[in-house]
Structure 1
Amino acid sequence: MSDAISPREFRQSEGTGDWRVVGDGARALFRTGSFTRGAALVAAIAELADAADHHPDIDLRYGAVAVRLISHDVGDISRRDLALARAISAAAAEQGLAADPSAVQSLQIAIDAVDVAAVRRFWQAVLGHDPVDDADLSDPLGVLPNVWVQQIDAARPERNTVHLDLYVPTDVVEERLAAALAAGGRVVNDENAPEWWTLADPEGNEVDLAPWRDDSPWK
């Protein structure tokens, strides 16, 4: 029996205030101020993960530790992730470390293709990614962004066929949208807002900016 839970269930559960669900699991970023303090938090997380037999992805940097939780066997977040998220937050609090939910984000590369299989084979080969489902590619080390090859009916020479999908927390998306527009960007398509906005830079390169909303239809 699957223990998968929805983003809404995760968010509404007690002890998840440090975390945001943004496209590819539940993420948190803890400000540490030093590499040594960050390493201490990573060591604490490692003990918790081994005890739970459930292991997150961790990125240790000089001033922060980023953590991603996802259950690959269910392809989504689960109650195991919920339990580990609470334990990690408690460990960070014990070490006097605060989370910065506004810094959480998730990036995916999206490629529009008429022949999805052919385009996917190329990107799988050149990136060394693993296939996931019918159109996705994933870095086996979990370091590089996922690649999603999206079906289109016909070639589109008048528009880019490669764009970025950027997922950010709902509580920061308006600020990020305003910053992008102030920096010279423009809204190309807002028909799907507030699920996502398609933005373009001054030369037409596109990004879909999406808040990972609890009430989104794909949840």
Structure 2
Amino acid sequence: MDESADTTGWITAAEFHRAPGVSDWRVTGTGPQAVFAANSFADAAELVAPVVTAADRFAVEPDVDVRAEGVVVRVPLRTFDGIPAAAPRFAAAVSHAAALLGLRADPTRAQSVGVYVAQHSEADVRPFFLAALGYEPLGETDAVDPLRCGPQLAFNPITGDAARRGRTHFDVFVPADQARARVDAALAAGGRLVSDAHAPAFWSLASPDNHGVDIAAWTDTAD
């Protein structure tokens, strides 16, 4: 690993995936993440120390979720500028440590969920949700749980929609190589295809009672 290369600035998801050693990782709506399966909580916790070492080495601030079923390691997007340029080196180091510990990567389980709050074009509901949920602003349009445990919110105006009516849908960000299977599973479970005009970037689905869900893969391939 070339320690002399510049790791400042920002990169795209496509640039992240072109880096060596990151095949375990996928980029969702909240940034690069990897899921490593484990047989016990103790086994999963063994990865925490190597993650801390890699975070310090590459100046990355990751999120780590340790469960008996496995470990989720994320490089959270704290800005819309892009993925930290040091993220691929951090990711490769974590994957190497996980392999040494016998923790198997399972990219099929990588995902993040976002809630898109639709609002009348003359309304600004973000202050209400910030206050009600204890969230913080992210950029000019989004809101985020300060500890990044809850789903990220985005606020999208509906031009011409009736005032006092809000319509909200879920965005489920999955790996690009898993998106079609997730769509097929949702349709088989009673869902309805609303539009595939933007596929394979995302598919718009509706539940049997017409709640909206977008299955989104574009974050994993963005360039």
- Note whether the superposition's TM-score is higher than 0.5: yes
Q: Deviations along 1:10-50, whole A, 9 cap, x unmatched?
A: 11111010000112210100001110011111122112213
Q: Distance in 2 between matches of 1:102 and 1:49?
A: 24
Give the fraction of aligned pairs with identical amino acids, expressed as a percent: 38
Structure 1 residue 151: Cα displacement: 1.7
Alignment match, 2:32: 26
Gap runs ≥5 in structure 2: 1-5
Note the residue ranges of structure 1 that are not aligned, 5 or more in a row: none
Q: What is the 5 A alignment of 1:136-175?
A: 136-155=142-161, 161-175=167-181
User: Which residue of the partner structure matches residue 88 of structure 1?
Assistant: 94
What is the one-letter code of the residue matched to 2:159? D
Alignment match of 1:202 (pick from 204, 208, 212): 208
Contact 1:4/1:77 (8 A) holds in 2: yes
Shift of 1:7: 0.8
Runs of 4+ in 1 over 6 A off after TM superposition: none
Contact map agreement 1:105 1:169 (CA 8 A) in 2 = yes
- 1:31·1:97 contact (CA, 8 Å) conserved in 2? yes
Q: Distance in 2 between matches of 1:151 and 1:170?
A: 27
Counterpart residue number, 2:3: none
* Distance of 1:156 and 1:98 partners within structure 2: 50
Once the 2 structures are TM-superposed, how far is the Cα of residue 70 of structure 1 from its aligned partner? 3.6
TM-score, reference length from structure 2:
0.89
1:168-205 deviation per Cα after TM superposition (whole angstroms, max 9, x unaligned): 11111111111101000001122222221110111001
Measure, in 2, the Cα distance between the counterparts of 1:99 and 1:116: 46
Bigger CA drift: 19-28 or 45-54?
45-54
The answer to whether the Cα contact below 8 Å between 2:31 and 2:75 also exists between their aligned partners in 1 is yes
Counterpart in the other structure of 1:15: 21
Q: Counterparts of 1:144 and 1:184 in 2: how far apart (Å)?
A: 27
- 2: distance between equivalents of 1:213 and 1:41? 26
User: Higher relative CO (CA 8 A, sep ≥ 6), structure 1 or 2?
Assistant: 2
CA distance in 1, matches of 2:28, 2:138: 18
Paired residues, what number? 216
TM-score (norm 1): 0.91
Query: What SS does the aligned partner of 1:118 have?
Result: coil
In 1, Cα distance between the equivalents of 2:194 and 2:87? Answer: 36
Measure, in 2, the Cα distance between the counterparts of 1:154 and 1:73: 30
Which of 180, 184, 189 aligns to 1:178? It is 184
Please say if residues 166 and 208 of structure 1, whose CA atoms lie closer than 8 Å, have aligned partners that are also in contact: yes
